[in-house]
Amino acid sequence: MSDLKIGIVGCAGRMGRMLVNQVAGTKGCSVCGGTEPAGSSAIGEDINALAGLESSGVTVTDSTDDLFNTSDVVIDFTAPAASVAHAKLAAKSGTTLVIGTTGISNEEQAEISACGEETVIIQGANMSLGVNLLAQLTKKVAELLDDDFDVEVLEMHHHHKVDSPSGTALLLGKAAAEGRQIDHDRVADRGRDGITGARKKGDIGYAVLRGGNVVGEHTVMFAADNERIEITHKAGDRSIFARGAVRAALWSKGKPAGNYDMMDVLGLGD
């Protein structure tokens, strides 16, 4: 069987270069192209060479239309507005899209999900196996413990991160809400400042830290009087996200159009 042809948008960025390395080192797939915005100094450069690999003859372009028309799967770790545009291109071309972008609004998500009626779209607030296991554990623990246990989600990332709380933190908070069968948006406390009053029973709280070059650390805390349960995941390198995204791309082969997530890819769903 021929290799799965994978295109990468934003291929010259930190995550893009890591994705190129991961695809190049994974059996059954190959990098068929990559894009950067018009005017980027990476345009015309060899995509493999940019990632520190031996030149492949595949050069970076600014044409996302061409990328979607020539790829079996496109991987997208860019920005919310760009991911919406890419989802529409995927729906038009029938190309599978794997999205690792975070910070997507409800309105943007609705547009992306609508495109899943025409093609395969796989999204993950976090692509790593460990984080998705953590989400499943969080859901189960929340299901077993009543609201005498306060739920707090603590996350830390590097100082360049632009969205807060992180997409992964929200994934974990939503897992806790699902375990308790409550509406996450109704109980989420995403920021505390000043005289806020006592903590409201049943809320899911978020605390955010930013600094240094931390790739990502997440802790879900269940705190009751006189005891506390903490579940933590620490990412040491972004390669874990690239590995998960490529795994999702390979998993997508032969799947019908629809919206999928990493729980589907990893077989961790109910």
The arrangement of strands across the sheet holding 216-224 comes to 188-189, 204-210, 150-157, 216-224, 227-235
- Kindly name the residue from 5, 86, 139, 157 that is annotated as catalytic: 157
Q: What is the pLDDT of residue 269?
A: 67
State the Cα–Cα distance between residues 182 and 243, nearest whole angstrom.
33
- Kindly name the residue from 161, 184, 253, 255 that is annotated as catalytic: 161
pLDDT band at 268 (very low <50, low <70, confident <90, very high): confident
pLDDT band at 221 (very low <50, low <70, confident <90, very high): very high
Model confidence pLDDT, tens digit, residues 131-176: 999 999 999 999 999 999 999 999 999 999 998 999 899 999 999 9
Neighbours of 2 (CB within 10 A): 7
Amino acid present at 172: L
Q: For residue 45, what are the CA distances in angstroms to 57, 216, 246? A: 9, 30, 23
Model confidence pLDDT, tens digit, residues 199-212: 999 999 999 999 99
Domains in the chain, ordered, with CATH? 4-123+238-266 (3.40.50.720), 129-235 (3.30.360.10)
Q: What is the pLDDT of residue 62?
A: 97
Q: Are 30 and 4 in contact (CB under 8 A)?
A: yes
Angle value at C-alpha 98, between 76 and 32, nearest 5 degrees: 70
Instruction: Judge whether 161 counts as a catalytic residue.
Output: yes
pLDDT band at 270 (very low <50, low <70, confident <90, very high): low
Instruction: Judge whether 157 counts as a catalytic residue.
Output: yes
